[in-house]
Amino acid sequence: MDIRVDKDSDVPLHEQITAQLVLLIGTGGLKVGTLLPSVRAMALRLGVHRNTISRAYHDVTLNLLVGKRTGARLVVLASEPETSPDARDLDALIAATITEARRRGYSLREVHDRLLGRLLVAPPDRLLVVAEDAGMRTLLPRELAEHVKCRADVCTPGELRSAPQRALGAVVVSPQGYVRGIRAVLAPDHPVVAITYTPADQHLRAIRELRSPSLVAVISVSEYFLEMARAVLAPAIGRRHSLQGHLVTGKRLEVPRAADVIVCDSLTYPIVRSRCKAPIVLEHRLIAQSCLDKVSGAIHGERSERRRK
């Protein structure tokens, strides 16, 4: 488990640790079922106080991804809860009996409750991106649209919980921390893809290779992107370099002229690249290629199956 902290950074140690754990889980570096080190073991490994580790382990975002399953140790949770085989059998039975029920004179009202479950898992023809941060609801559909040619709608986790019908006919795509809650309100076999993030290794390496004190700027339309970047890059920034975050709102984007390194999200990168003369301009695409392929398979695979039928 490659976690580094910089005690001289302006970013609190517990935020550095939390962000790196979230990123490791999001990129697949920590697999489902992996036990996190105990508070004492992690404190000894990083040379920090146990209270710092305890505070990191109690972070709200991290706790969407881990839970206590083995004694007092935290374990990386699966995005999707286990479903019983009875649920699948029941769905298959409903699909086979709708026609028979109508042939025998039953009204749709009489089979409504069961039929609704089947409607919610009808072959998808669009994506539904579910995220809390408004900027992520802009960034994620943009990256998905470049790889998966279909309509993409967005909503918050709360909006989906209050109106599960939003997912009708859609492959749901969401950050891992929300998937368990999403699964709880959808049919067991509704297509849901947990986002796997792209690692930040390239950006960390670029900063560590800087020969002199430099200004590093992060530009994004997402507050969450900026918060994560600040914490993940902190060990490489240290006290040697300076870090500035720039949140883009509306249509106005100001490029910091004094920056030596600029890290952009996929939405701001083309604009910054065309306007900026900084020596190093890096694009960070949130969604890993393997995840894009998985989403594409979920949407196009279902379409192909429908055409064959």
Helix (H, G, I), strand (E, B) or coil at 284: strand
The pLDDT of residue 64 is 84
Domain 1-77 listed as CATH 1.20.120.1200 = no
Helix (H) or strand (E) holding 66: strand 66-70
Instruction: With cut-offs at 50, 70 and 90, classify the pLDDT of residue 307.
Output: very low
Domain boundaries, the chain: 1-77, 85-197+290-308, 199-284
The pLDDT of residue 111 is 63
Q: What angle do CA 3, 266, 275 make, to 5 degrees?
A: 115
Tokens of 23: 């990123």
- Out of 52-56, 117-121, 164-168, 214-218, which region has the weakest mean confidence (pLDDT)? 117-121
249 has pLDDT over 60 = yes
The values of phi and psi at residue 252, to 5°, are -95, 130
Tokens of 8: 């001289």
Residues 281/269, Cβ–Cβ less than 8 Å: yes
Evaluate whether 1-77 and 199-284 have a shared fold. no
Torsion angle (degrees, nearest 10) of CA 152, 27, 59, 227: -70
Residues 146/285, Cβ–Cβ less than 8 Å: no
What is the 8-class DSSP label of residue 274?
H
Q: What is the mean pLDDT of residues 158-182?
A: 93
195 has pLDDT over 80 = yes
Q: Which CATH number fits domain 199-284: 1.10.357, 3.40.50, 3.40.1580, 1.10.10?
A: 3.40.50
Residues 8-64 pLDDT 10s: 999 999 999 999 999 999 998 999 889 999 999 999 999 999 999 999 999 888 888
Instruction: With cut-offs at 50, 70 and 90, classify the pLDDT of residue 119.
Output: low
The pLDDT of residue 104 is 72
The pLDDT of residue 163 is 94
The pLDDT of residue 78 is 81
Instruction: With cut-offs at 50, 70 and 90, classify the pLDDT of residue 306.
Output: very low
Mean pLDDT of the chain: 85
Residues 76-86 pLDDT 10s: 988 765 554 45
**Percent of the chain residues past pLDDT 90, beyond the cut:** 60
Report helix, strand and coil shares of the chain as percent, to nearest 5: 45, 20, 35
Residue type, 56: A
Q: What is the mean pLDDT of residues 63-78?
A: 81
Residues 206-218 pLDDT 10s: 999 999 999 999 9
Who's near 299: CB < 8 A, 6+ residues apart? 124, 125, 126, 127, 148, 150, 171
The pLDDT of residue 304 is 44
Instruction: With cut-offs at 50, 70 and 90, classify the pLDDT of residue 67.
Output: confident
The pLDDT of residue 295 is 95
Residue type, 38: S
Query: Which CATH fold would you assign to the domain 85-197+290-308?
Result: Rossmann fold (3.40.50)
Residues 271-305 pLDDT 10s: 888 887 778 999 999 999 999 999 999 987 754 44
Residues 135/220, Cβ–Cβ less than 8 Å: yes
Residues 282/203, Cβ–Cβ less than 8 Å: yes
The pLDDT of residue 223 is 95
The pLDDT of residue 305 is 44
121 has pLDDT over 80 = no
Distance CA 212, CA 170 (A): 50
